[in-house]
Amino acid sequence: MPVPLREVTSGSRLFERLRLRATRFRPAQAILAGFALAAAVGSVFLTLPVAKAGPGGATPIEAIFTAVSAISVTGHVVVDTSRYWTLGGQIVILALIQLGGLGVMTFASVVGLIVVRRLSLSTRITAATEARSVGLDDVGRLVKGVVAISLLIEGITAAVLALRFATGYGYLWHEAAWLGLFHGVSSFNNAGFSLFSDNMIGFAGDPIISLTISTAVILGGLGFPVLVQLRRHLHRPRAWSMNTRIVVAATPLLLVLGTVFITVVEWSNPATLGKLDWPERILAGFFQSVQTRTAGFNSVDIGQLHETTWLGMDVLMLIGGGPAGTAGGIKVTTFAVLLFIVIAEVRGDGVVNVFGKRLSRAVHRQAIAVVAVSLGVIIAATGAIMLMTTHGLGPVLFETISAFSTVGLSTGITADLPPAAQLVLVVLMFVGRLGPITFATALALRERQVLYQLPKERPIIG
Which tens digit of pLDDT belongs to each residue from 232-264?
888 888 888 888 899 999 999 999 999 999 999
pTM higher than 0.75:
yes
Question: Is residue 113 pLDDT above 60, yes or no?
Answer: no
**What is the pLDDT at residue 104?**
52
CA distance 172 to 376: 49
Digit-coded pLDDT (tens) for 51-84 = 999 888 899 999 999 999 999 999 999 999 999 9
**Rounded to 5 degrees, what are φ and ψ at 405?**
-85, 5
Banded pLDDT at 3 (limits 50, 70, 90): very low
Query: In this structure, are residues 434 and 461 in contact, taking their beta carbons and an 8 Å threshold?
Result: no
**What is the pLDDT at residue 444?**
53
CA nearest 96: which of 44, 133, 145, 141? 44
Banded pLDDT at 9 (limits 50, 70, 90): very low
Lowest mean per-residue pLDDT among 112-116, 418-422, 454-458: 112-116
Q: What mean pLDDT is reported for the chain?
A: 84
Banded pLDDT at 142 (limits 50, 70, 90): low
Half-sphere exposure of 121 (CA within 13 A, CB side): 1
Neighbours of 271 (CB within 10 A): 13
- Tabulate helix, strand, coil % of the chain (nearest 5): 70, 0, 30
